[in-house]
Amino acid sequence: MKHINISTYQQLIKTILASTLLFFAVSCDKIEPSEDGTYTVYSGAVGEWEDSEPVADHTHRVWIEKYTGPRCNNCPTADEVIHDILNQASYRDKVVATAIHATAVFGTPLGNSPDLRTDEGEAWCTNFFGTTASFPAVLLNRQKNGSTLNTINPTSPFTSDIDAIIGETATVALAVESHFDSQAGKISITSSIELLDDLADDITLTVLFIEDSIIATQKMPDGTENAAYVHNHVLRGLVTDKWGFDIDCNKTRGTARKVTLRADLPEGSNQENCQVVAFVSDKSSRTIYNVATCPIQ
């Protein structure tokens, strides 16, 4: 009978255990296709890009990225302006709004109201405005004047700025659809993109959840506090990283790709009042090429 050296035996056992642990670690992180061929997102993983049919809708849409908070007494005026824009027939399918609650100065909740700030919203705010943000403030597709972000005070109508964007031909077509996947117990989101022109730079996809009809105390223009204030299109959380993830495609006109992600709804959100927002942006400049939204079916 051949004898095995004890140290060799122990090393063999360690190797087997390490290999077993590695197998399970890889297996848990692996993105497996579901029955419909799409991919699931768990623990920060992202779905796989695949070829897509061309996107039928080439509308160039505008993302109203409004920075706000319950302690911003001029923000209700901005809400009225944006509400009016969203309800105009000429903008209804061309404008998407998101209210991003941020900063300790403006975003700290009043009384027992929920805290509507998010880590991603705070990061965006700091990146775009530094530590001296003045609310309300709006960005439209994160466009710039030269090297400076074009920041708008939304307390008065800004439709001319919107018109200037939607009047341009879209460079990227974008469509998004979502539903609750009962099998996975997740929200399933499919984003499809088509390049309508050649691109020089890499592009990313960002996907997030917004929610309407949240009741939270709001400071009003006259200095009073309204405990029954209704906050709409509030950023509740992101499916992707805050700066998105790379769109796997060549950068030539006619390229069409899609990806399906699955994620949990942010804690405390009401699915009936939530929507998905997706946007495609330049990886370097952060300028947004197009945006799309859809309800959760």
Burial (CB < 10 A; 0-12, 13-18, 19+), residue 71, is: buried
pLDDT tens figures, 143-197 = 998 889 999 999 999 999 999 999 999 999 999 999 998 887 889 999 999 999 9
Asked if residue 26 has pLDDT above 90, the reply is no
Q: Give me the mean pLDDT over the 79-84 stretch.
A: 98
pLDDT tens figures, 204-230 = 999 999 999 999 999 999 999 999 999
How distant, in Å, are the alpha carbons of 39, 209, 237 from that of 274? Answer: 22, 7, 11
Q: What is the mean pLDDT of the chain?
A: 88
Candidate CATH numbers 3.40.50.300, 2.60.40.1930, 1.10.3720.10, 2.60.40.10; the one for domain 33-295: 2.60.40.10
So what's the pLDDT on residue 181?
85
Rg (the chain; Cα; Å): 23
pLDDT tens figures, 107-135 = 999 999 999 999 999 999 999 999 888 99
pLDDT tens figures, 31-55 = 444 454 444 444 344 578 999 999 9
- Residue written as token pair 């900063």: 103
Q: In terms of pLDDT, which residue wins out, 16 or 270? A: 270
Q: In Å, how far from its chain's centre is CA 20?
A: 37
Q: Kindly list the domain boundaries of the chain, sorted by start residue.
A: 33-295
How distant, in Å, are the alpha carbons of 12, 53, 125, 219, 223 from that of 216? Answer: 61, 43, 21, 10, 16
The whole-angstrom separation of Cα 287 and Cα 198 is 16
